[in-house]
Amino acid sequence: MLEIGDTAYTVQFGGDRVVAAEAFHRFAGQPGVTYVGDISGAHNLPDDTFDCMVLTQTLHLIFDMPAAIATIWNALKPGGSVLVTVPWITSIDKGEWNATWYWALSPAGLRKLLETRFAPSDIAVNAYGNVLAASAFLYGFAEHEVRPQDLDVDDPLCPVIVAASARKAL
Q: What is the pLDDT of residue 60?
A: 96
Tell which residue, 159, 21, 167, 68, has the closest CA to residue 151: 159
95: in domain: yes
16: in domain: yes
123: in domain: yes
| Average pLDDT taken over every residue of the chain | 94
Read off the pLDDT of residues 98-135 as tens digits, 9 standing for 90 and up.
999 999 999 999 999 999 999 999 999 999 999 999 99
Contact 23, 7 (CB under 8 A): yes
CA distance 45 to 141: 39
Indicate which CATH number applies to the domain containing 113. Answer: 3.40.50.150
Read off the pLDDT of residues 3-48 as tens digits, 9 standing for 90 and up.
999 999 999 999 899 999 999 998 889 888 999 999 998 778 999 9
136: in domain: no
* Range of the structural domain that residue 47 is part of: 2-127+163-167
Confidence band for 166, pLDDT divided at 50, 70 and 90: very high
Number of domains the chain contains: 1
150: in domain: no
63: in domain: yes
CA distance 165 to 170: 16
